[in-house]
Every structure is written in structure tokens, then in C-alpha cells.
Amino acid sequence: MKLFDNTTSNRVIIYTENLMRVTNIKSFKRIGNKNNQEANTFKILYKRPSCTFDKVNKVLELPDPFKFNQKLTEDRDDYEVTAKLFYLPPSSTSIIESSTPPSQFITQSVYHLFKLLGINTIDTFIIYFNGFMFDGSNEISNKFNKTSNMKNNRDDDLNNHGKSDIDNLLEAWKELETLHKKNMIYKLGVSEFTKNQLENFIKAVEVPPKIDQINFDCCAIPKEIIEFAKKNNIELLSHNDSTDILPSTTFQKIIDDANTNKVRLNKDLSPRWVLKYSVMIPDRGVINNKGYIVMASTTNSDPKFTYTIDEIEKNGF
């Protein structure tokens, strides 16, 4: 294929293949104590070099999502689509404010998932705000100290106040609520929230989360949060996602692999979010599709871009 100079693209979307089809023994290699699946995951996609430029949203897609057919083939009702958006920690060169997760990431991630799978609804959308970690307490502030990339120390102080933690998230949540009201997302969820955080959050939002996804010893969850969740109709789900879902070394490998495959990318790209999605056939307990979508942008790309919902509705898929 011809050499495609994409170094001018300052916003890139990267898709993986369906991991249920390309998982292999190597995916289970352990590095240290950690499962190395994610790193191997992103390596896989570059067996199929291709790319396409989405003119409407001015974003480069790797590979072309229509080239390898991942669209769901049966009745939409037979499937359960779950998506989880990870806001990545801002890099030191980011001009995006570290404390406010950009809400437009949400619609952007939804758009690309719709495009990939050929759907226009998501059953469950969980949002993970970087830094949160359930620690078995009911605390208001439970952010673990991953401040190595945080530029603004004054923001740190603010972040340690319970209320501000939640405040920063409300804008992002409003975007989710909009999509929910448009019947594009059925259930909204948060991740790693403690009981008190849930309590505060519910009071502050219009559409409450139906799910809190926690990575903790399932048999040792404190009963306060279990009771609170039951009373408030919140499902406590378990997960095993690493908080460092896309280590910088992995991302660098993606860029390098792309270059090797004649898709030259801008050196200044930094990953902003990762969307983990899975498609299940719930009646049979069979996982049909699982993968990741990564968005990376350069420092000089417009931080306040928008994907309008109208575009999704118009474009169909």
C-alpha cells in the first residue's frame, strides 16, 4: 500500500481487532505481576495496516473501521453492548486542564463505537475518571496518588476536597445524561466510587448511575456500600481493569508499529482516552466481541472540539 503521510493529522482514533478472535497464548504472558493483555492487544492490530480520514470529524482512523467487518450481524436485541471510557491522565505537555475531564470525549467515543459495530445504542456505559480507586473504605476522597503527570499543584489541593472531586465530573456526566435521554445509552455507570462518593454524586446529578464498577476483593466489600447500592438501585459490578490501562510504553509501540507499517503518525500525539467495549449474547453467556478504541491528539489540536449528536443521527451506520 502506498505510503500515507499522516503526520499532519492531529487527532487519531485507533481501533483494535475483535480480541475474541485474535487472542492467543501470548496474551496471557505475565510481566511482573501484571497481566499483559492490553499491551499485546494493541500490538495485534497492526497486522492489517490501513487508515482512513473521517472528513466530518476531522480525525484519522486506524485502521479503516469498515475494512474489517465487525458489525453485529443478528438482532440488536440479542446483544448486550457494554462500553467503559477511561479518561487517561494528562501528559505533562497537555494544555487540557487536569481537573476537568473533557466532556466531548464521551460523545466522540460513542460515535466511534457506533461506527465500528454498526449500532446506534449502547446498553451500559461506564465512565472511569482517572485517579479513582476503591480502597474498601467509604471515604469521600479516595484518589490514589498518581500525581507524576499532574501539572497544576493547586488543582491537587482542590481535588482533595470531596466536593470538588465530584464537581469536576458533573460536566462529563451531563454529556452522558444527554445521550441517555436520547435513548442512545440505556444504563449509566461509574467506576471505583466509594459509598460516600456515590451518595454525593447521586444528589448532584439528574440521571443517577445504575452501576458502580469496582476492582476489589469481591468477598470483602464493606456492607455499607452493598446496602447503599441495594437501596438506591445501583448494581455493584466487579472488574479487573488496570488503572493504568494504556501505559506510555504501549502507546509508543503503537506509534512505532504504525510507522513500520507505512502509516506515519505525528510524533506529538498523546493518548487522551481509551474505550473498552464488549459485546455479549446474554442468553447464552457467550462473548461475541471485545476490543479497545484509543483516541490520541497533539498538543496543538483544538481541545474544545465537538462531535455533535446530530452527526451521529444523520450518519446512521
Spatial separation of the C-alpha atoms in residues 313 and 317, rounded to whole Å: 9
Query: Which of 200, 288, 297, 301 forms a contact with another protein (CB under 8 A)?
Result: 288
Query: Which of 33, 55, 219, 310 forms a contact with another protein (CB under 8 A)?
Result: 219
Q: What is the DSSP letter of 183?
A: T
Spatial separation of the C-alpha atoms in residues 128 and 191, rounded to whole Å: 5
Shortest distance, position 83 Cβ to another protein, whole Å: 11
Give whichever of 197 and 289 is closer to another protein, judged by the CB atom: 289
- All three cell numbers of 313, joined, read 443521527
Name residues contacting another protein, limited to 75-104 (CB under 8 A).
Answer: 80, 82
Q: Please give the size of the binding site for another protein, defined by CB under 8 A.
A: 44
Residue linked to cell 485474535: 22
Between the CA of residue 13 and those of 97, 184, 311, what are the distances in Å?
21, 21, 17
Shortest distance, position 303 Cβ to another protein, whole Å: 33
Amino acid at 307: Y
Query: Which of 286, 302, 311, 313 forms a contact with another protein (CB under 8 A)?
Result: 286
Stretch that binds another protein, among 92-100, 165-173, 250-258, 273-281 (CB under 8 A): 273-281
Between the CA of residue 247 and those of 25, 42, 91, 272, what are the distances in Å?
21, 11, 12, 12
Give whichever of 115 and 290 is closer to another protein, judged by the CB atom: 290
Contact status: 68 vs another protein (CB under 8 A): yes
Contact status: 284 vs another protein (CB under 8 A): yes
- All three cell numbers of 136, joined, read 474498601
Name residues contacting another protein, limited to 148-207 (CB under 8 A).
Answer: none
Give whichever of 64 and 155 is closer to another protein, judged by the CB atom: 64
Contact status: 135 vs another protein (CB under 8 A): no
Query: Which of 289, 297, 298, 301 forms a contact with another protein (CB under 8 A)?
Result: 289
- Asked if 175 contacts 184 with a C-beta cutoff of 8 angstroms, the reply is no
Contact status: 107 vs another protein (CB under 8 A): no
- Asked if 175 contacts 109 with a C-beta cutoff of 8 angstroms, the reply is no
Give whichever of 2 and 284 is closer to another protein, judged by the CB atom: 284
Sign of CA dihedral 261, 110, 34, 246: positive
Query: Which of 5, 34, 47, 144 forms a contact with another protein (CB under 8 A)?
Result: 47
Spatial separation of the C-alpha atoms in residues 115 and 258, rounded to whole Å: 22
User: What are the DSSP E strand ranges found in 181-315?
Assistant: 185-191, 211-214, 235-238, 263-265, 270-281, 286-297
Residue span 239-268 as binding mask against another protein, x where in contact by CB under 8 A, dash where not: xxx---------------------------
Spatial separation of the C-alpha atoms in residues 206 and 201, rounded to whole Å: 10
Give whichever of 142 and 288 is closer to another protein, judged by the CB atom: 288
Q: What is the largest CA-CA distance in the chain?
A: 59
Contact status: 25 vs another protein (CB under 8 A): yes
Give the distance, in angstroms, between the CA of residue 235 and the centroid of all CA atoms in the same chain: 20
Query: Which of 34, 152, 218, 311 forms a contact with another protein (CB under 8 A)?
Result: 218
Which residues would be at the binding site for another protein (CB under 8 A)? 18, 20-25, 28-30, 37, 47, 68-69, 73-74, 80, 82, 124, 214, 216, 218-219, 221, 226, 235-241, 278, 280-290
